[in-house]
Amino acid sequence: MIYHDPVLLNACIEGLRINPSGTYVDVTFGGGGHSREILKRLGPDGKLFAFDQDNDAAANAPDDERFTLIPHNFKFIKNYLKLYRAIPVDGILADLGVSSHQFDEAGRGFSIRFDANLDMRMNVLQGMTAQKLLETYSEEELRRIFKEYGELSEAGKLAKHLINVRSDRPIKTTQQLMDLIRPFMRRGQEHTFAAQVFQSIRIEVNDELESLKQMLLQTSEVLRPGGRLVVMSYHSLEDRLVKNFLRSGKFEGEVEKDLFGNSKLPFKGITRKPIRPDAEEIHRNNRSRSAILRIGEKNEE
């Protein structure tokens, strides 16, 4: 069951610069599309490790002795690769965001297209659901996630509205949430506004940005010099972290320097500008329209 049409597949694979006998990591296995393409290019001595915290992904694992699926969040990349004695690796691929399967599985609550319980957990066995978040977060906490993760100018008013509503009745389903936020939608921007609200809640539920930071920081520890880091983002919050990390090894602030004043840069950028899908790919797979691909190469130590 391949449930994910791989975005920018050729660009991702070319960016990894695969060595047939090398060791690679797909930290967002999903439907396995990228992983299968990596395996095609690996020889008998090559290895591929994949991470995915969504239990549904296990159904897509290829029956291949070179492949190992690790059913955990990619923020644990170093610990598990150390466990498998796989460090250093030659390349890491990350296709961030929600998979097509997660959006299309109505009961998961990720999509504005279906009425479902407000869950939004990528790992349904762990953490707080979106419903619980909306029940328990304070007005200030809701305002923060709508502003930071949804980049909504109406964050304060929306948070206050939800607090007032939930005092009378619980907010349990995606349709109830859609009905509550409808008064804040501008004509012609309804879909965009709803997507931003859902995105902000989903990011908080899954602690997505903090997990991304943890994973990125560990890549410089597990990649061999000359190894490639290939990361595909789908919104500006993710891309900003990736861009800053590849540029400076940090997410904000000044670049670290050694005693001689030389910049200490863990990566060099391979892509001067981010790679984006062309019109043909967007037509074939509309979900690729917001994809932003960046590639870095680990500097010599």
pLDDT in tens, 61-95: 999 999 999 999 999 999 999 999 999 999 999 99
CB 191 within 8 A of CB 112: yes
Q: Tens digits of per-residue pLDDT, 1-12?
A: 444 578 899 999
Rounded-to-integer distance, Cα 157 and Cα 145, Å? 13
How big is the CA angle at 54 (ends 274 and 206), to the nearest 5 degrees? 65
Name the band, by pLDDT with cuts 50, 70 and 90, for residue 259. Answer: low
Domains of the chain: 9-100+208-298 (3.40.50.150), 103-206 (1.10.150.170)
Element (H or E) spanning 168, and its range?
none
Query: Which pLDDT score, from 0 to 100, does residue 2 have?
Result: 47
Rounded-to-integer distance, Cα 147 and Cα 153, Å? 7
- Pairing assessment for the beta strands 223-233 and 292-298 based on DSSP bridges: antiparallel
Provide the percentage of residues in the chain whose pLDDT is more than 70: 90
Name which residue leads in pLDDT, 175 or 262.
Answer: 175
Mean pLDDT of 269-295: 92
Task: Kindly tell me if the per-residue pLDDT of 101 is higher than 70.
Answer: no
Query: Which pLDDT score, from 0 to 100, does residue 252 have?
Result: 82
CA separation, residue 28 to residues 17, 128, 212 (Å): 18, 21, 11
Q: Tens digits of per-residue pLDDT, 191-238?
A: 999 999 999 999 999 999 999 999 999 999 999 999 999 999 999 999
Beta bridge partners of 233: 292
Write the CB contacts of 7 (distance below 8 Å, at least 6 apart in sequence).
95, 232, 277, 281, 285, 287, 288, 291
Q: Tens digits of per-residue pLDDT, 34-66?
A: 999 999 999 999 999 999 998 888 999 999 999
Reduced to 3 states (helix: H, G, I; strand: E, B; else coil), residue 165 is: helix
CB 91 within 8 A of CB 18: yes
Beta bridge partners of 67: 48
- For the chain, the first-to-last Cα distance in angstroms comes to 42
Highest averaged pLDDT of the listed ranges 13-22, 261-270, 272-281: 13-22
| CA-wise closest residue to 157 among 176, 137, 183, 136 | 183
CA atoms within 13 Å, Cβ hemisphere of 103: 14
Reduced to 3 states (helix: H, G, I; strand: E, B; else coil), residue 8 is: coil
Rounded-to-integer distance, Cα 193 and Cα 152, Å? 8
How big is the CA angle at 192 (ends 188 and 198), to the nearest 5 degrees? 140
Query: Which pLDDT score, from 0 to 100, does residue 1 have?
Result: 46
Query: Which pLDDT score, from 0 to 100, does residue 257 have?
Result: 64
Task: Kindly tell me if the per-residue pLDDT of 130 is higher than 80.
Answer: yes
Mean pLDDT of 97-106: 58
